[in-house]
Amino acid sequence: MERRDFLKISAIAGATAALEGCGNPDHQLIRFVPEEDLLPGIATWKPSICTQCPAGCGMMVRVMQGEAEVIRKGQLGLLKMGLAKKLEGNPAHPISQGKLCPRGQAGLQVTYHPDRIKNPLVREGARGSGQFKEIGWDDAIKQLASQLSTLHTSNPPGGLAFVTGPLRGQRKTILDAFTTSFQGSYAVGAAFLDDSVARAANGASFGHAAPGTVDLANSNYVLSFGADFLGTWNSPVAQNVGFGHMRKGRPGMRGKFVQFEPRISQTGASADEFVAVQPGAEGVLALAIAHVVIAEKRKPLASAGHAGSLIDGWAQGLPDYAPEKVAAQTGVKAETIARIAREAASHDPAVAIIGDSATAQTNGYFNALAVNALNALLGSVGKPGGILFGAGLNAQASKSGPASLELFASQVSSGAAPVKVLLVYNANPIFSAPTAWGVRAALDKIPFIASFASFMDETALLADLILPDSSPLESWLDDVPPSGSAKFVMSVAPPAMAPLHDTRSAPDVLLDVAQRIGGDLAKALPWKTYDEAIQAAFAALYKEKGSKTAKDADEFWSRAKDQGGWWTDEPSATANGASGGRPIKASAAQFDGEASQYPFHFLPFASQLFYDGSLANLPWMQEAPDPLSTVMWGTWLEINPRTAQKLNIQRGDLVEVSSPHGKLQAPALIAPGVAPDVVAMPIGQGHESYTRYASGRGANPISILAPATVEGTGALAWAATRVKLSAVGRSAMILFGGSLTEASPELKHR
Amino acid sequence: MAHQWGMVIDLDRCTGCEACVVACHAENNISTVGEDQARRSRAKHWIRVERYYEGEFPDVQVKFMPVLCQQCDAAPCEPVCPTFASYHTSEGLNGQIYNRCIGTRYCANACPYVVRYFNFFNPVWDKPLNLQLNPDVSVREVGVMEKCTFCVQRIKAGEIKAEAEKRELKDGEIQPACVQSCAPRAMVFGDLNDPESEVSRLANSGRATKLLAELGTRPKVTYLQRDAWHGHENA
């Protein structure tokens, strides 16, 4: 805006403010009384919780007074209000420790996104047509309540399904109680990057069905099997802080980090040693390392305890896993395996981590058990510098897992699950499921779909009713992060600012609906509002844990609100408590698609900027160059240089990637870090509908995945698909920067 | 003695995560230019993460290096500016006075680090994304060159606060947005004129190097080379 225009508008604003109540309300600029004591130009810092990924980092929000053009009581006006201006890590919070990742930094753009759903919508045109009509909240809640009321009287009873992303804290309590109070209802988890394999394996090996906290800061030797722990896996900010300390925070001591994976990830890029491993052979490799440690009597095999006993042949010293025997299978030289084993065993504390593609193979559960056994052998479970499991509530969140989306879709399609009402919260099942699961067809069979979406994504587009959630910065938040710190952490944050639009916090809407329906539902949810529920949780926490500083529950609560939560001073790691379970034999990873017809392993990977695709709507994420490829505003397929040469594929060629379950097109990026028999593609783009910044951009690798599952769990084996490639034309990729020395015309950014 | 602001980036800690890049956008009102302009190499990132591949698979290595304005003491960008928009501040920063800039782009051509960015258009924020703007930082209009300022607004705020409280600035009290966000603590900012500051101490480390030092630009950003593991098989 030109300065002159600004002055003109200011003058008009002054004049019309004086004439309030006159003229056309649409042209009025109404100033409201400020809701809080903010001084112009002076920043206030308020605690909040990052919700961009499930890590649960504590944040501080820089709030300043500003003028926002908003609709209030049906009128557009300039409202003087507190506005979030910058997000930083909360220095007191045990997980973020004052730091934030790029995704967290971009959380601001969720609140200010131009394509947010600004008020409740009801479908007008055909389902999926995108034609909606704005309605008021009272009408919207009445419609939802009346749909739900019919379920109580229907015969057979039941017919409610609730599809969600990861849930914790009182948000989980409210949604769980809401769902279970309807007979025969389904709670369905739709997170693509879930940690169910790690939870199941850690439960079996150690008695803790939790992802665990890696104490990198105190570690001396880190073995990571596929885990992108500096990018997207588990609790990346906490892990980055720990990693920096491991490298250079201890004078005279620098830990070594070895990464085993088929493609150098952003995390692998920081490794001291990158070891290429065949996809699916991670568990065998871990046991070969264990074999050397045991055979050379560097650690007694009994030290692995229960975790070791779950591996077939452990008691005999893993005779089948001698390095020379598994070298071909794993693709790792026997002497490399032996050397790494000796290094790890002689540099206590050493820790092994497994995640991402290593647990997303059909044998991912075995891989995780094998790495757990190695960890136990190295003596790093529950010890500083190892893997820690917190006590109490931190582990509680995982007791009952939701049903898998795959099972749900097949039951709805077959009629075995007669779902009449579907609620969708913080999930986009159409995008995050392989096409082969048939989620789209299943949703078409459900008569009524209500969504709490903030953006018109692929799933919200199919909804009959949209009750838009307020943004995280506009909402109460609570969280009980299961990893990232060995301390006991319970976070809470009041809204950092007032809602910009006519939106409501989803848990509040559910509580409202429960009160309107009454009966068992209202009894199961005794709180009027979500913050009342959070306060109740903190009152219970005060009763259980007490406090050194607060004199009563009220003071405890108000302190927690001020500092962003409550946490213990000391780590509260607990001992192992697992027993039972039969020894597991090595199972080879199975891949969907004949190797002769589909010669390449297809490796989708979580994007550093888009995570699972849910952040592709943010312009800061679209225009930030990907750390490894430097690609902006698009997607790409990574192909090894030798493979590309063989197939006569150049950088920027448009390549068709076909699996037995579908095909997509993406521009080729010749990447030295990917194995010759593997092609890799980031998750995140390929949204049909996800705001002006993401819609119709690139391709979604999830769509062509085989419906393979991880044996022993119901999780999707998303690294178990094979594909074939063919060049079909040219495409333009946008690469940023490149480097100072190798600036080719295409790489130059100016 | 006046402050001489400097930075150390420890490449043994940097994990290439890009938090600095996005934090900088948020703090400094850097507009996104969109797909079409990005395709024409007009995206603006005051700090970027460079990535270098070495070797062939499987013996391949990757290195990251965040690159921002090096705040040179002998800055090639400064003498070429006909309007003195690029100038050297008393605290050693390569200042850029936006309302003096007439867009000759001589400075960008002279800069060997490729860290100056030109506004080919007026910046646009699709409403209400404009509400994210930091009121402490001016937005730059079409025809103006922009670059990293070491978050001069944070430096000034810190200095004013210390003066009001009649005390010296504490080491580490001022953090540019990139430094504050950096989770592995690869970036350290401080006063090079204070021999006790962490940045001075680290800048004297045996791993310290300057980017393109041979050009004689005397950068105030010091890189600490990636270290090697010093253990062995049978420690």
Q: Does B113 touch chain A (CB under 8 A)?
A: yes
A281 and A225 within one domain: yes
Mean pLDDT score of chain A: 90
Query: Is B229 inside any structural domain?
Result: no
Query: Is B149 inside any structural domain?
Result: yes
CATH number of the domain that residue A452 is part of: 3.40.50.740
Minimal Cβ distance to A66: which of B114, B131, B185: B131
| A346/B233 CB distance under 8 A | yes
A373 and A224 within one domain: yes
What local confidence, expressed as pLDDT, does residue A171 receive?
96
Minimal Cβ distance to B227: which of A254, A673, A739: A254
Written as six digits, the tokens of B90 are 């008393």
The stretch A371-395 carries a mean pLDDT of 85
Query: Is A187 inside any structural domain?
Result: yes
Please check the confidence at residue A747 and state whether its pLDDT lies above 70.
no
CA angle B149, B151, B153 (to 5 degrees): 110
d(CA B92, CA B90): 6
A444's enclosing H/E stretch is helix A439-444
d(CA A229, CA B90): 43
Written as six digits, the tokens of A87 are 């997000």
Minimal Cβ distance to A101: which of B17, B34, B130: B17
In the stretch 198-227 of chain A, residues with CB closer than 8 A to chain B read 220-221
| A628/B51 CB distance under 8 A | yes
Give how far Cα B12 sits from Cα of A271, B56, B197, Å: 10, 22, 20
Residue A158: which pLDDT band, with cuts at 50, 70 and 90? Answer: confident
Q: B83 to chain A nearest CA, in Å?
A: 23
Q: Does B1 touch chain A (CB under 8 A)?
A: no
Contacts of A628 in chain B (CB under 8 A): 16, 51, 62
Contacts of A743 in chain B (CB under 8 A): 114
d(CA A664, CA A642): 22
Q: What amino acid is encoded at A247 in this protein? A: R
| A625/B227 CB distance under 8 A | no
Query: Is A492 inside any structural domain?
Result: no
A669's enclosing H/E stretch is strand A662-670
Contacts of B233 in chain A (CB under 8 A): 339, 342-343, 346
Query: Is A254 inside any structural domain?
Result: yes
The domain in which residue A453 lies consists of 117-196+399-469+504-526
Q: A545 to chain B nearest CA, in Å?
A: 31
Query: Is A537 inside any structural domain?
Result: no
Written as six digits, the tokens of A613 are 């695709």
What local confidence, expressed as pLDDT, does residue A8 receive?
45
Minimal Cβ distance to A640: which of B39, B57, B134: B57
- How many helices (H) does chain B have, and how many strands (E)? 6, 10
Q: What is the CA radius of gyration of chain A?
A: 27
What local confidence, expressed as pLDDT, does residue A75 receive?
82
d(CA B93, CA B73): 8
A241 and A282 within one domain: yes
A403 and A378 within one domain: no
Contact predicate A237/A104, CB 8 Å: yes
What local confidence, expressed as pLDDT, does residue A735 receive?
81
Burial grade of A677 (CB within 10 A; 0-12, 13-18, 19 or more): middle
The stretch B23-38 carries a mean pLDDT of 96
Query: Is A491 inside any structural domain?
Result: no
Q: What is the pLDDT of residues B123-178, one digit of tens each?
A: 999 999 999 999 999 999 999 999 999 999 999 999 999 999 999 999 999 999 99
CATH number of the domain that residue B152 is part of: 3.30.70.20
Least CA distance to A736: which residue of chain B?
B41
Query: Is B54 inside any structural domain?
Result: yes
> Within 10 A of A520 (CB to CB), how many other CB atoms are there?
15
The number of distinct structural domains making up chain B is 1
A492's enclosing H/E stretch is strand A489-493
What local confidence, expressed as pLDDT, does residue B235 receive?
63
A99 and A240 within one domain: no
Please check the confidence at residue A33 and state whether its pLDDT lies above 80.
no
A166 and A274 within one domain: no
**Which of these three, A47, A78, A111, is where a domain ends?**
A111
The stretch A498-512 carries a mean pLDDT of 96
Please check the confidence at residue A510 and state whether its pLDDT lies above 70.
yes
d(CA B100, CA B173): 31
CATH number of the domain that residue A89 is part of: 2.20.25.90
In the stretch 18-77 of chain B, residues with CB closer than 8 A to chain A read 18-19, 21-23, 25-27, 32-35, 38-39, 41-43, 45, 48-53, 55-58, 60-64, 67
A318 and A217 within one domain: yes
Please check the confidence at residue A175 and state whether its pLDDT lies above 80.
yes
A732 or A600: which carries more pLDDT confidence?
A600
A332 and A316 within one domain: yes
Contacts of A254 in chain B (CB under 8 A): 12, 227, 229-230
| B32/A620 CB distance under 8 A | yes
The domain in which residue B108 lies consists of 5-224
Beta-carbon contacts below 8 Å between A and B: 248
Query: Is B235 inside any structural domain?
Result: no
Query: Is B113 inside any structural domain?
Result: yes
| A740/B212 CB distance under 8 A | yes
Mean pLDDT score of chain B: 96
pTM for this entry = 0.94
Q: What is the pLDDT of residues A525-562, one digit of tens each?
A: 999 999 999 999 999 999 988 888 889 999 999 999 99
Please check the confidence at residue A252 and state whether its pLDDT lies above 60.
yes
Query: Is B68 inside any structural domain?
Result: yes
What local confidence, expressed as pLDDT, does residue A142 receive?
97
d(CA A112, CA A253): 45
Residue A20: which pLDDT band, with cuts at 50, 70 and 90? Answer: very low
A66-80, A367-381, A595-609, A644-658: least confident range? A66-80
Mutate to test the interface with A, among B12, B14, B28, B57 (most CBs of A within 10 A): B57
Residue A464: which pLDDT band, with cuts at 50, 70 and 90? Answer: very high
What local confidence, expressed as pLDDT, does residue A194 receive?
87
Minimal Cβ distance to A342: which of B53, B184, B234: B234
Report phi then psi at A448, rounded to 5. -135, 125
Written as six digits, the tokens of A93 are 């919070």
In chain A, the percentage of residues whose pLDDT exceeds 70 is 91
| B57/A102 CB distance under 8 A | no
For residue A510, the Cα-to-chain-centroid distance in whole angstroms is 23
Residue A13: which pLDDT band, with cuts at 50, 70 and 90? Answer: very low
What local confidence, expressed as pLDDT, does residue A573 receive?
66
CATH number of the domain that residue A617 is part of: 2.40.40.20
Taking alpha carbons only, the member of A58, A46, A61 closest to residue A95 is: A58
Q: Does A641 touch chain B (CB under 8 A)?
A: yes
What is the complex's ipTM, to 2 decimals? 0.97
A375 and A305 within one domain: yes
Q: A494 to chain B nearest CA, in Å?
A: 20
Taking alpha carbons only, the member of A593, A724, A604, A594 closest to residue A658 is: A724
Q: A370 to chain B nearest CA, in Å?
A: 23
Q: Does B111 touch chain A (CB under 8 A)?
A: no
The number of distinct structural domains making up chain A is 4
**Which of these three, A71, A87, A111, is where a domain ends?**
A111
Burial grade of B168 (CB within 10 A; 0-12, 13-18, 19 or more): exposed
Query: Is A486 inside any structural domain?
Result: no
What local confidence, expressed as pLDDT, does residue A28 receive?
39
| B38/A256 CB distance under 8 A | no
Query: Is B231 inside any structural domain?
Result: no
Q: What share of chain B is helix, strand, coil (3-state, %, to 5)?
A: 25, 20, 60
A371 and A277 within one domain: yes
Give how far Cα A450 sits from Cα of A147, A158, A240, A426, A624, Å: 10, 16, 38, 12, 34
A582-596, A636-650, B150-164: least confident range? A582-596
| A734/B35 CB distance under 8 A | yes
d(CA B155, CA B147): 16
**Which of these three, A111, A143, A171, is where a domain ends?**
A111
Q: What is the pLDDT of residues A109-127, one digit of tens each?
A: 999 999 999 999 999 999 9
Contacts of A264 in chain B (CB under 8 A): 60, 62
A24-38, B33-47, B96-110, B123-137: least confident range? A24-38
**How many residues comprise chain B?**
235
Written as six digits, the tokens of A41 are 């130009």
The stretch A199-204 carries a mean pLDDT of 94
In A75-117 the beta strands, taken as DSSP E runs, fall at 75-89
A185 and A217 within one domain: no
Please check the confidence at residue B70 and state whether its pLDDT lies above 70.
yes
Residue B100: which pLDDT band, with cuts at 50, 70 and 90? Answer: very high
